[in-house]
Amino acid sequence: MSEDKKITKIIIAASGTGGHLFPARLIAEELKNNIKNLEILFIGAGRPLEEKLIDNAGFNRKVVNIVGLRNLGIKGLLRFLKMLPSAFFKMLKIFKEFKPDAVIGVGGYVSFLPVLCGRLKGIPTFIYELDLSPGISNQVLSKIAKVVMVAFPNSKLRDLKKTVYTGHTLKKGMLQIRDFKIKDKIENILIIGGSQGAKKLDETVLNLISFFKEHNLNIYHQCRKESFEDIKKQYEEKDFNAKVVPFIDDMLEAYKFADIIISRAGASSVMEILAVNKPSILVPLPGAGNHQTPNAKFLEDRGKAFIVDESSENFLDELKEDILKLLNLENYTKMVQREFKEIELDGASKIKDEVLNVLGM
């Protein structure tokens, strides 16, 4: 078979949240645009968002049923151990049939077995850590992967000899938003609970409706899918015309709308907020290994965000107080104009370069 006809096969593994799936898809698209005769197979956990973001983008996907270890307790650990042998042998079967040339893990527990199997079979393996503080899977995988790639310049994995700082994978058009003109009145608030929504944030925001009315604010609220109908109804009953959606298909338009962003602090959200340069209030997800708090702190340290602790007894009042700070045009302008050291926002291209280099292409 000639060099041009040779098919390069790559497995990309990512868990079923937008914070992992969006970067995984961007990496896949970058590889597809730069490698002739490329075949990509996604490994997922079978969650609904995978079909929306991966299958609908034209990529093939296999589901391996496994659960993460974080916050599972004894029952969860037993369930994990029960599922592990079946998942491992299914993964070996996938490898035997697909015969990958490389494996890329984009975080989450779904990455663990593909990268492990790749290492056992002597196939080049890569992991991409989006958070400042890695989760359990990537902590372990960083020991065995051939190349470790990180989104943050001060990642906890940065000091490994095999670590490459690639920066964040950014959606096209995101950087063009940052040169927006500051308006005379701050009036549009975008509320993002992440791809899975945020129950406590949703409930608290509903208690701010009279506050929103008082300050003539426009609200674009992405909430939990399970709460969508109820939240929409509550806005309507209080005669407040908010835009409420369970998922945002066009994040560029959402960011263009926003003067202020209230958001979880997943790595992708934090980097996108930094890229569009819109002042924000970050509400890190409690638990989850506390990995969102360092992400939020990264933005706060650059003077681009306030952090509010969801578990605080005064969560509602603190949220209101920070919104008021940002409604002050002087404060808002200072936050937008505050300089920060530029970070790499072309991660997908740099990840592609690393893969090509290791594969000798």
What residues contact 246, with CB distance under 8 A and at least 6 apart?
197, 222, 223, 224, 225, 228
pTM of full prediction above 0.75: yes
| pLDDT of residue 175 exceeding 80 | yes
- Location of structure tokens 């263009």: 256
Flag the least confident range among 55-69, 70-84, 322-336.
70-84
- Location of structure tokens 């890569």: 126
pLDDT in tens, 152-174: 998 999 989 999 999 999 888 88
Burial 77-113 (b: 16+ CB within 10 A, else e): eeebeeeeeebeebbeebbeebebbbbbbbbbbbbbb
Q: What is the pLDDT of residue 24?
A: 96
Confidence label for 357 from pLDDT (cuts 50, 70 and 90): very high
One-character DSSP codes across 298-348: HHHHTTSEEE--TTSTTHHHHHHHHHHHHHSHHHHHHHHH---------HH
Q: What is the pLDDT of residue 115?
A: 95
Q: What is the pLDDT of residue 1?
A: 44
Flag the least confident range among 131-140, 256-265, 303-312.
131-140
Start-to-end CA span in the chain (Å): 16
Confidence label for 67 from pLDDT (cuts 50, 70 and 90): low
Average pLDDT over residues 176-188: 93
Instruction: List the one residue out of 188, 228, 235 whose CA is nearest residue 207.
Output: 235
Q: What is the pLDDT of residue 173?
A: 86
pLDDT in tens, 74-128: 666 677 777 788 889 999 999 999 999 999 999 878 898 999 999 999 999 999 9
Confidence label for 2 from pLDDT (cuts 50, 70 and 90): very low
Q: What is the pLDDT of residue 172?
A: 83
Average pLDDT over residues 57-65: 93
Percent of all residues in the chain with a pLDDT value above 90, rounded to a whole number: 68
Helix axes 199-206, 315-327, angle to 10 degrees: 70
Q: What is the pLDDT of residue 179?
A: 87
Flag the least confident range among 176-190, 233-247, 314-328, 329-343.
329-343
Contact call for residues 20 and 105 (beta carbons, < 8 A): no
Where do the domains of the chain lie, and which CATH numbers do they carry? 8-170+346-359 (3.40.50.2000), 175-337 (3.40.50.2000)
pLDDT in tens, 11-45: 999 987 788 899 999 999 999 999 999 999 999 98
Confidence label for 197 from pLDDT (cuts 50, 70 and 90): low
Average pLDDT over residues 204-221: 95
Residue type, 256: K
| pLDDT of residue 342 exceeding 80 | no
Mean pLDDT, the chain, whole residue set: 90
Instruction: List the one residue out of 49, 41, 148, 51 whose CA is nearest residue 97.
Output: 41
| pLDDT of residue 58 exceeding 60 | yes
| pLDDT of residue 195 exceeding 60 | no
Average pLDDT over residues 353-357: 96
